[in-house]
Amino acid sequence: MDRIAEIRRTTQETDIFIKLNLDGSGEVSLDYPIGFMKHMLATFARHGLFDLRVQASGDIAVDQHHLVEDTGIVLGHCFTRALGEKQGIRRTGTCFFPMDETLARAVVDLSGRSFLVFDAKLSGIPLISGGYSFQTDTVEDFWQGFTQGAAATVHLDILRGRSDHHKIEALFKAGACSLKEAVSRDPRAPDQVPSTKGVLA
């Protein structure tokens, strides 16, 4: 069965449409007003081999927080919808991802329980390029929204690093690779939900 989901979420602060194919090849179509997050979403799709379409707008004249967090929420909900009852998946995934001087670790469990541990060791200084800036503190907001929407336990850690750009990008790459493993099909248990409870909800 195709593991594809599409969701539109509209509030007074944001309007977000996401279409996700868990079994894609990393193709992206992104209409996103925050350049650095657009880069991170493309990175996420490429390293997770997820086909990802995003159209988003929001009140970024007020703050980037609303749009970035809501994007995480909608993306997480797409994972939940695409996985259905989660039969036959591996459920957990782990990735260590190096990026020059930076080493990131991501560990995920599609457990049905939302919990985020986030230790990125970011400086809090915005990333600025070409007159545009990115509020790096919203990265945690994105992953908090994602864990909420995906009902997942996610641990994201920077083990070492200097550049905030590298730290954030390595976390997105590690997160994507660990999710790719977690959603992959287990050929030894194709009809089983990987839980002694018999459900992951």
Which residue ranges make up each domain of the chain?
A: 4-183
Q: Which pair of tokens denotes residue 109?
A: 């469990």
Mean pLDDT of 29-37: 97
- Whether the pLDDT of residue 93 is over 90: the answer is yes
Confidence (pLDDT) at 96: 98
CATH fold group of domain 4-183: Ribosomal Protein S5; domain 2 (3.30.230)
Confidence (pLDDT) at 198: 83
CB atoms closer than 10 angstroms to residue 18: 22
Confidence (pLDDT) at 131: 83
pTM over 0.85: yes
Mean pLDDT of the chain: 96
- Whether the pLDDT of residue 130 is over 90: the answer is no
Nearest to 46 by CA among 116, 122, 97: 97
| CA atoms of 75 and 6, how far apart (whole Å) | 9
What are the C-alpha distances in Å from 107 to residues 4, 36, 62, 73, 124? 23, 23, 33, 19, 24
The lowest-confidence range among 28-37, 146-155, 190-199 is 190-199
Mean pLDDT of 89-101: 98
Mean pLDDT of 87-100: 97
Mean pLDDT of 1-22: 97
